[in-house]
Copies of this chain bind each other. A is one copy, B any other.
């Protein structure tokens, strides 16, 4: 069965807002075997919304409307869907009473326009909203002689998500053939997308019954694989077989089956009872910020130094000023000294350092924008990697942290 998602709200037609609910809805619909065939975004405009509702009902078996269920004049979803279906809109006395009660409990006076939220399309089932005042609606109806499953959901994600999962999905499941979905994800660090695709596309294209999607951004590639089958076993074995083949092909470029790189590094550090300290120049704290994204990182991450100025490179990581004068702050030698220095200062097992030219200013012919040195140090020695990253400042900084984390990961799995 095919679905259409209709997102309602004039803000969605400005340059400022993106609809993100539909990603969640798509994932959940896909899980039970429903594909999304169309998404439509339309403003709070009676004619346009009614038109969009008619179009959607004409071409999709399942139509999810979201947004436009509030109490203001601009909230037109109930009326427009009712009009598109040629059905009455009735005020539900129980819902009105519940609204007054809800406002009273919060010690607020309800303005009469809120009664609008108690309007229900003829024969619709009311979907209780535990996190807001606008209930959703579920409707099974014929449109142009074809069976349709229709949902009206509130726009705020924390209201929409529980209503959809708890009240819509179980109803939808009754009408779609039972299917099992299995998923795998492989994450790959510091590989060019074109190279990755050239190596893995012959493999995934030959895999029957598995959909594969490649996402690439900032030194990271995610391969998402999905298989649907009549039994759980078949679906699972299909994705597992493909994932294993791709892992064989890419070897240790694959760093996880879903966990972020920061997490993998943290796990490996814990396994080895090791600690980490960082010294960051051009990334200014981004590496530390990534390493502390997850609760519990204090078990292996001690902290470190943001050595943006040359003086702090000396103060916090004991880099000798003559070394900086001789080679420049962006150099193999200074990267190495930073990793060693911050490790020793902090008494960490590993020291990880980044120094580079993130741009857009500050580049020279010898040291162009994008040139970054990464160093990882332990008591046995220090390794430095020089890279030239393309792109803007944010992209270069993101790549630099990714490269540094990946170096540490490789050191941890190979030592």
Question: Hey, which bits of chain A sit against chain B, CB under 8 A?
Answer: 11-18, 20, 23-24, 26-27, 30, 35-43, 45, 48, 51-52, 55, 59, 213, 215, 224, 277-278, 280, 282-289, 291-298, 301-309, 311-312, 315-316, 345-347, 358-362, 393-394, 397
Give Cα distance in the complex from A14 to B294, angstroms. Answer: 27
List residues of chain B with CB within 8 A of the CB of A304: 305-306, 312
- Determine the distance from Cα of A308 to Cα of B95 in the docked complex, in whole angstroms: 51
> Are B41 and A13 in touch, CB under 8 angstroms?
no
Are the CB atoms of B295 and A359 closer together than 8 Å? yes
Residues B18 and A18 in contact, CB atoms below 8 Å apart? yes
Minimum CB–CB distance for A5 against chain B, Å: 9
Chain B residue at minimal CB-CB distance from A277:
B312
A22 CB to closest chain B CB (Å) equals 8
Residue pair A285, B295 in contact (C-beta under 8 Å): no
Chain copies in the assembly?
2
Given contacts A14-B213, A24-B15, A42-B38, contact A285 B287 (CB under 8 A): yes
Q: Which residues of B contact A36 (CB under 8 A)?
A: 13
Is the pair A215, B16 in contact by a Cβ cutoff of 8 Å? yes
Nearest-Cβ distance from residue A397 to partner chain B, whole angstroms: 8
Q: Which of A30, A285, A347, A397 is the most central at the interface, judged by chain B CB atoms within 10 Å of its CB?
A: A285
Task: Please tell me if the beta carbons of A302 and B312 are within 8 angstroms of each other in the complex.
Answer: yes
Does the CB pair A309–B298 fall under 8 Å? yes
Distance between A337 CB and nearest chain B CB, rounded to angstroms: 16
A13 & B26 in contact (Cβ 8 Å cutoff)? yes
Residue of B with least CB distance to A359: B295
Most B C-beta atoms less than 10 A away, residue of A38, A360, A394:
A38
Contact A41-B42, Cβ < 8 Å, known A213-B16, A285-B287, A315-B345: no
Main secondary structure of the interface of A (DSSP, over half): mixed
Are A289 and B292 in contact (CB-based, < 8 A)? Answer: no
Which partner residue on chain B sits nearest A369 by CB separation?
A: B295
Q: In the complex the two chains form, is A305's CB within 8 Å of B308's CB?
A: no
- A26 proximity list for chain B (CB < 8 A): 13-15
User: Known contacts A288-B306, A306-B305, A393-B295: does B41 contact A45 (CB below 8 Å)?
Assistant: no
- B37 and A45 contacting across the interface, CB-CB below 8 Å: yes
Tell me the smallest distance from the CB of A15 to a CB of chain B, in Å.
4
Contacts of A27 in B (CB 8 A): 15
Tell me, in angstroms, the Cα distance from A364 to B15 when the chains sit together.
42
A41 proximity list for chain B (CB < 8 A): 38-40
Residues in B whose Cβ lies below 8 Å from that of A292: 282-285, 308, 358
Assembled-state Cα–Cα distance A383/B315 (Å): 26
Report Cα–Cα, A361/B299, bound state, in Å.
Answer: 13
Known: A38-B42, A285-B291, A286-B286. 7 other contacts (CB 8 A): A15-B27, A16-B23, A48-B59, A292-B358, A303-B305, A303-B316, A306-B306
Cα separation A40 to B37 with both chains bound (whole Å): 11
CB pair B308 A306 closer than 8 Å: no
Q: Complex Cα distance A55/B40, Å? A: 11
Cβ 8 A contact of A285, one of B16, B17, B285, B294: B285
Nearest 4 CB-CB pairings of A with B: A285-B288, A284-B292, A285-B285, A303-B308
